[in-house]
Amino acid sequence: MFPYPSGAGLHVGHPEGYTATDILSRFKRAQGYNVLHPMGWDAFGLPAEQYAMDTGNDPAEFTAENIANFKRQINALGFSYDWDREVNTTDPNYYKWTQWICTKLYEKGLAYEAEVPVNWVEELGTAIANEEVLPDGTSERGGYPVVRKPMRQWMLKITAYAERLLEDLEDLDWPESIKDMQRNWIGKSTGANVTFKIKDTDKDFTVFTTRPDTLFGATYAVLAPEHPLVDVITTPEQAQAVADYKHQASLKSDLARTDLAKEKQVSGLVAMPLIQ
């Protein structure tokens, strides 16, 4: 188990899950197995940072207090954890290895910076995960407005392992439905990149398609609101309408933007057709 040690202590969901694994651990021990059943603390993160900023308290001090409280409550419930293997992400003996891993990923060219859309919360001064965005478009912590904006982020090049992941699925004794889910997540697609010139400019953009033969009948092209070309190619007549559209789009989650019924806004310029 690897909970975040919040100041509120355990909630009902903690012992619900912990009881199940404790039962299984005790059962396997009774059968003579050497069971690995540790506990750890995922103690870094936005909640601790924000609490420290709001209260002026030292995060090292209140994090240690929260962990001690969690441990007291867990022991009171009688769970059979191996405390000799306790893990704490704020322990230098732990995070020095996460730093080492990140360094190695960078040295091997597997960690890089890229500008990608993130869920930005101005009041928190940080980006948050999709899972931390509530259905009403606010942040789980604080209930603040969330907007989509492009920012430079550190990324891991997991695409370098796409083929290997796909091939190794064949060796797994998993249900075929689960393997299909993995294949869909990897998302391998075979097609072509096609570049369109923008009329009366020196600009162009590239699209990926699995059916390049159908592009001769293309009637329009769609750019994401965050695409750097949007502001460049928008005509003065359409500038305000495009700006309004971009703002509305920034308030939508990734899931909302996958709706089949999409709103669109004309930029004012056109792309050159493949055949004139």
In order of their start, the domains of the chain are: 13-97 (3.40.50.620), 109-156 (no CATH), 161-188 (no CATH), 192-258 (no CATH)
Q: From CA 109, how far away is CA 171, in angstroms rounded? A: 28
For residue 100, what pLDDT is reported? 98
Q: Is the pLDDT of residue 275 over 80?
A: no
168-220: per-residue pLDDT in tens?
Answer: 999 999 999 999 999 999 998 999 999 988 888 899 999 999 999 998 888 88
Average pLDDT, stretch 246-253? 82
Average pLDDT over residues 37-51: 89
Under a CB-based contact definition with an 8 Å cutoff, are residues 63 and 48 in contact?
Answer: yes
Query: Percentage of the chain surpassing pLDDT 90?
Result: 59
Is residue 152 predicted with pLDDT exceeding 90?
yes
Average the pLDDT over 128-136 and give the result: 88
Average pLDDT over residues 89-97: 96
pLDDT at 268: 61
Instruction: Tokens 């506990």: give the residue.
Output: 39
Q: Given a cut of 70, is residue 261 above it in pLDDT? A: no
pTM of the model: 0.70
The pLDDT assigned to 218 comes to 84
Percent of the chain past pLDDT 70, that is, above it, reads: 93
How far, in whole angstroms, is CA 39 from its chain's centroid?
Answer: 25
pLDDT of residue 272: 56
- Among 85-99, 221-235, 241-255, name the one with the lowest average pLDDT: 241-255
- In degrees to the nearest 10, what's the CA dihedral of 97, 103, 109, 113? 110
- The pLDDT score that the predictor gives to residue 266 is 62
Instruction: Please check the confidence at residue 270 and state whether its pLDDT lies above 60.
Output: no
Asked whether the predicted pLDDT for residue 246 surpasses 90, the reply is no
Average pLDDT, the chain: 89
* The predicted structure's pLDDT at residue 81: 97
Unique residue bearing structure tokens 């090292």:
60
Residue 262 has pLDDT above 90, yes or no: no
**For residues 218 and 111, which has the higher predicted lDDT (pLDDT)?**
111
Tell me the DSSP string of 40-86: EE---SHHHHHHHHHH---HHHHHHHHHHHHHHHHHHHT----GGG-
Chain center to CA of 259: 20
Select from 30, 29, 1, 40 the least CA-distant residue to 17. Answer: 1
Note the pLDDT of residue 276.
Answer: 40
Report whether pLDDT(50) > 90: no
